[in-house]
């Protein structure tokens, strides 16, 4: 990994470097090299449950070194990093499939932590947020429904009806990641389905798990993998699920606004993780091109087409990195609403770069690339969804184009 890290360090631009990143990035790097990279293949080759004891030991070690929950403020036992500082840590952790889990900043938990820290009532934070931050429990986020297009989050069949001091929730959710084994879920449900404003119909409500009104129907098979605890995408049925009114996150009717608040920083997190994957795949591609013999003195990297792929990948990774860091810096300074266009831009651009770099790295490796003897095939299976979740490419492109065209006077009707 020596060449990889020298390349990595050379691309970090001075104006994104801070005292925190100068101090912390080498420490995270050393932790990954000593403890994480050596076991990652073993962990991802077997059911995740079988590795939990081993990974929990690494989580405790990360706590001891002050590296746990790098996204949290100091008052919550985090390092107090800005978004742009955490983005650089997130890229580093993204170079391994188990990096974010070991440091307790994995999705969907990180999004739920940020959401609850900003909007949940104290009693919910004491009971659920604090244990989540300490890595004692896991959570999930129930928003997407199989009956409605996930690309239009205002369309939703799940309802939460007031009944005395409770909500009664009924509905059907899927792709509720990590539902199997989670201690609670935050459910997006319509509390005022008749509202004339479609963006004020839904609310977010915390439901403890297990719950008699919630049934895990299945872990959805994805790309040939059945899924299980911690790595699953659950399908849930809510049937007369009764929870107190006090379990609401924020205010009634503000679910859509809270979802946007949750997804803004979340897309930064995803994009920087993807860039970490790209950088690792790029390193593997270059190592193989430089060492794979074609006979005699010629190596695979002597082929011009391979050189083109390496050059294109380098340019795309660097462009993606700078776009995301610029967006993170702007969000730190001006807030999420001010960078709405930038968020859409990085979401579809970095997802495309991710799949392009992985595809080229696999192609360079030839038949080896589609085996599980490298980590590339694992990432290709698991990360194809990057172009779909948190808004598919097409939605972000259309939203961005409309936002731009409105500045030129073009009007659009709200559907």
Tell me the pLDDT tens digit for each residue of 70-81. 999 999 989 999
**Is 58 a residue whose pLDDT tops 60?**
yes
Query: What residue ranges do the domains of the chain occupy?
Result: 2-112, 139-249, 256-406
Question: What is 256-406's CATH number?
Answer: 1.20.140.10
Report, as an integer, the average pLDDT of 228-244: 88
User: For the chain, how many helices (H) and strands (E)?
Assistant: 14, 10
Flag the least confident range among 9-13, 151-155, 209-213, 358-362.
Answer: 9-13
- What local confidence, expressed as pLDDT, does residue 155 receive? 85
CA-closest candidate to residue 215, choices 232, 236, 243: 236
Contact 83, 328 (CB under 8 A): yes
- What local confidence, expressed as pLDDT, does residue 46 receive? 86
pLDDT above 70 covers a percentage of the chain that reads 95
DSSP state of 386: G
- Name the superfamily (CATH) of residues 2-112: Acyl-CoA dehydrogenase/oxidase, N-terminal domain (1.10.540.10)
For residue 214, what are the β-bridge partners? Answer: 238
Torsion of CA 339, 342, 343, 347, to 10 degrees: 180
- What local confidence, expressed as pLDDT, does residue 47 receive? 83
The pLDDT tens digits for 94-123 are 999 999 999 999 999 999 999 999 999 999
At 152, is the pLDDT very low, low, confident or very high (cuts 50, 70, 90)?
A: confident
From the number of C-beta atoms within 10 Å of its C-beta (0-12, 13-18, 19+), residue 289 rates as: buried
Flag the least confident range among 144-148, 175-179, 206-210, 266-270.
Answer: 266-270
For residue 207, what are the β-bridge partners? Answer: 185
- Whole-angstrom Cα distance, residue 185 to residue 112? 9
Q: Architecture of 139-249 per CATH?
A: Beta Barrel (2.40)
Domains 2-112 and 256-406 share a fold: no
Report, as an integer, the average pLDDT of 29-43: 95
**Total residue count of the chain as it appears in this document:** 415
Report, as an integer, the average pLDDT of 284-297: 94
At 222, is the pLDDT very low, low, confident or very high (cuts 50, 70, 90)?
A: confident
Exposure string over 202-212, b if 16+ CB within 10 A, otherwise e? bbbbbbebeee
- What local confidence, expressed as pLDDT, does residue 230 receive? 58
Contact 324, 87 (CB under 8 A): yes
- What local confidence, expressed as pLDDT, does residue 226 receive? 72
**Is 150 a residue whose pLDDT tops 80?**
no
- What local confidence, expressed as pLDDT, does residue 229 receive? 56
- Structure token digits, residue 227: 């899924």
Flag the least confident range among 158-167, 235-244, 253-262, 379-388.
Answer: 253-262
Average pLDDT, the chain: 92
**Is 415 a residue whose pLDDT tops 80?**
no
- Whole-angstrom Cα distance, residue 113 to residue 10? 33
Helix ranges (DSSP H) in 292-375: 304-334, 340-365
Residue 159 vs residues 18, 79, 152, 366: alpha-carbon distances, Å: 46, 39, 17, 50
Pairing of strands 139-142, 184-190: parallel
pTM of the model: 0.92
- Structure token digits, residue 48: 């995740």
């Amino acid at each position: 990994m020596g060449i990889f890290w020298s390349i990595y360090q050379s691309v970090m631009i001075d104006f994104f470097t801070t005292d925190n990143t100068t101090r912390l990035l080498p420490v995270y790097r050393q932790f990954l090299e000593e403890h994480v990279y050596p076991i990652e293949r073993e962990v991802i080759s077997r059911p995740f449950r079988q590795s939990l004891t081993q990974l929990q030991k690494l989580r405790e070690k990360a706590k001891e070194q002050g590296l746990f929950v790098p996204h949290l403020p100091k008052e919550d036992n985090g390092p107090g990093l800005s978004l742009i500082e955490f983005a650089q840590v997130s890229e580093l952790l993204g170079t391994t499939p188990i990096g974010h889990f070991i440091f307790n900043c994995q999705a969907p938990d990180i999004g739920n932590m940020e959401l609850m820290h900003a909007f949940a009532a104290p009693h919910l934070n004491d009971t659920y947020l604090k244990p989540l931050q300490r890595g004692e429990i896991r959570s999930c986020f129930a928003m997407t429904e199989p009956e409605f297009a996930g690309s239009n989050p205002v369309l939703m069949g799940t309802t939460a009806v007031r009944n005395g001091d409770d909500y009664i929730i009924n509905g059907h959710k899927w792709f509720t990641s990590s539902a199997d084994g989670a201690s609670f879920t935050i459910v997006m449900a319509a509390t005022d389905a008749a509202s004339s404003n479609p963006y004020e119909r839904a609310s977010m409500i915390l439901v403890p798990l297990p719950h008699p009104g919630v049934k895990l129907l299945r872990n959805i098979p994805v790309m040939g993998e059945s899924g299980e605890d911690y790595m699953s995408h659950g399908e849930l049925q809510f049937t007369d699920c009764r929870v107190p009114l006090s379990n609401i996150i924020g205010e009634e009717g503000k679910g859509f606004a809270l979802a946007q608040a949750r997804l803004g920083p979340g897309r930064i997190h995803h994009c920087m993780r993807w860039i970490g994957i790209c950088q690792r795949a790029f390193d593997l591609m270059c190592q193989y091109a430089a060492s794979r013999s074609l006979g005699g003195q010629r190596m695979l990297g002597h082929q011009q087409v391979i050189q083109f792929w390496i050059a294109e990948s380098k340019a795309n990774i660097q462009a993606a990195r700078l776009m995301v860091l610029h967006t993170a810096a702007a969000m730190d300074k001006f807030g999420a609403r001010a960078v709405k266009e930038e968020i859409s831009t990085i979401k579809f651009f970095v997802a495309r770069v991710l799949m392009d770099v992985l595809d080229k790295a696999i192609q360079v490796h030839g038949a080896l690339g589609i085996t599980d003897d490298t980590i590339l095939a694992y990432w290709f299976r698991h990360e194809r969804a990057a172009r779909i979740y948190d808004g598919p490419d097409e939605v972000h492109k259309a939203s961005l184009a409309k936002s731009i065209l409105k500045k030129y006077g073009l009007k659009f009707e709200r559907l």
